[in-house]
Amino acid sequence: MRERLNQTIQFPNRPKVIGRHAVVGPKEGGGPLKEYFKDVLKDDKWGEKTFEKAEKKIMEHAVFAAIENAKVSLDEVDVLFSGDLLNQIISSSFVARRFNTSYIGLYGACSTMAESLALGASIVNAGYFKTVACATGSHFSTAERQYRGPLELGNQRPPYAQWTVTAAACTVLSSSEENGNANKIGKNSGANEKNTVGNGKPAQIAVTGATFGKVVDYGVTDINNMGAAMAPAAMKTLVAHFEDTGRNADDYDLIATGDLGKLGSDILRDLCGEKGINLGPNYHDCGAMIFPFSDSVCQGGSGCGCGAAILNTYIMDKMEAGAFKKVLFIATGALMSPTTAYQGESIPSIAHAVVLEA
């Protein structure tokens, strides 16, 4: 019985991170993590006529740059796993149109980076394909008008709201590290070119496990209060991960959720505390890290680009430099739509986790 409730799988073949890239918008690039964001847009419309076209361009750039960073040719990438927040995940599908690679479209809302890495690592670890790209992205202006209201209305935001991050990121995984050079800087679209961290040869990062989340719904109906809706999903996935693996929070140098925001991550600490799990100083939330505390962003960042960008810059930079050896990255997604909200439904949420080791 126990075996069947298991949500975690291990990857003994250790699919390797051979390339990665993240692009962020100007607001994100000016925040507390600016020294880690090497590719910052000067304009979040990037010369396009619409925000949707800009979101696609940003994601496309992140995927191309990650593949370039991996030092593999485009034809060597076997599968692209990607998803985003837009209806019919158009950013991902239109990016996939540019690549001569198989494509698996995903929808996990803001949990997409972990979902794509978990599936991509599953496929590579099993030996089905050698090299896969795992991508996601989000854009403040497309998400805002799709999920909430026209930007021009200038709606006030409640204090527990979060701010959708403009960013896209891609991780290239491979069964072989021969072509990889994850420490090389990909081509740059904006300002802020900086050197990567690392003294000597950077540590090789591998995805060594994944916990597939279950859908959780604690009955939150306020679509501005995503952190509260998603925190229970993160807690359930953490509990399952620790039960399945026999590990505890101290086994990780960093446990990072993306993206509960400040309030949501406080709720997660409380919920975990009730389960006897003490999330100590090694726990951080990507949404709470990406912006300086201010009125406009309220509880911090959200959107699948937020955790994805931080994972592919700050977290992996630190792993390559030896500061983090073992990281648990948990991406959380709120699975409602405007239609379900109008029809009185609460917000189901999910959280997938991946283990990264350097």
Residue 215, interface with its own copies (CB under 8 A)? yes
Q: What is the rounded distance in angstroms from the CA atom of residue 4 to the CA atom of residue 136?
A: 30
Helix axes 226-245, 261-274, angle to 10 degrees: 40
Among 178-186, 199-207, 208-216, 223-231, the segment contacting its own copies (CB under 8 A): 208-216
Q: Which is nearer to its own copies, 96 or 263 (CB)?
A: 96
Which single residue is written with the structure tokens 């979101």? Answer: 55
- Closest contact distance (angstroms) between CB of 147 and its own copies is 9
Give the CA diameter of the chain.
Answer: 57
Question: What number of chain residues touch its own copies (CB under 8 A)?
Answer: 61
Residue 1, interface with its own copies (CB under 8 A)? yes
Residue 89, interface with its own copies (CB under 8 A)? yes
Residue 102, interface with its own copies (CB under 8 A)? yes
Which member of 94, 222, 251, 326 binds its own copies (CB under 8 A)? 94
Residue 245, interface with its own copies (CB under 8 A)? no
Residue 296, interface with its own copies (CB under 8 A)? no
Residue 12, interface with its own copies (CB under 8 A)? no
Residue 338, interface with its own copies (CB under 8 A)? yes
Which member of 32, 126, 270, 280 binds its own copies (CB under 8 A)? 126
- Closest contact distance (angstroms) between CB of 115 and its own copies is 7
Residue 1: how many CA atoms within 13 Å on its side-chain side? 0
Residue 350, interface with its own copies (CB under 8 A)? yes
Which member of 190, 213, 287, 303 binds its own copies (CB under 8 A)? 213
Residue 248, interface with its own copies (CB under 8 A)? no
Among 31-39, 191-199, 209-217, 266-274, the segment contacting its own copies (CB under 8 A): 209-217
Q: Which two tokens stand for residue 290?
A: 């990406």
Which member of 28, 44, 52, 317 binds its own copies (CB under 8 A)? 52
- Closest contact distance (angstroms) between CB of 297 and its own copies is 23
Backbone angles phi, psi at 5, to 5 degrees: -85, -5
Residue 340, interface with its own copies (CB under 8 A)? yes
Q: What is the rounded distance in angstroms from the CA atom of residue 133 to the CA atom of residue 131?
A: 7
Q: Which is nearer to its own copies, 296 or 339 (CB)?
A: 339
- Closest contact distance (angstroms) between CB of 87 and its own copies is 4
Q: What is the rounded distance in angstroms from the CA atom of residue 297 to the CA atom of residue 302?
A: 10
Q: For residue 311, what is the DSSP state?
A: I
Q: First vs last Cα of the chain: how many Å apart?
A: 33
Give which of 348, 355, 346, 257 is closest to 301, Cα–Cα. Answer: 257
Give which of 324, 79, 335, 126 is closest to 213, Cα–Cα. Answer: 335
User: In which element (H, E) is residue 274 found?
Assistant: helix 261-274
Give which of 224, 220, 327, 228 is closest to 270, Cα–Cα. Answer: 228
Which member of 38, 57, 62, 101 binds its own copies (CB under 8 A)? 101
Nearest-Å Rg of the Cα atoms of the chain is 18
Pairing of strands 167-174, 131-138: antiparallel
Q: What is the rounded distance in angstroms from the CA atom of residue 308 to the CA atom of residue 286?
A: 9
Interface ranges with its own copies (CB under 8 A) = 1, 4-7, 9, 49-50, 52-53, 75-76, 78-79, 83, 86-90, 93-94, 96-97, 99-109, 115, 119, 122-123, 125-126, 128-131, 212-217, 335-340, 343, 345, 348, 350
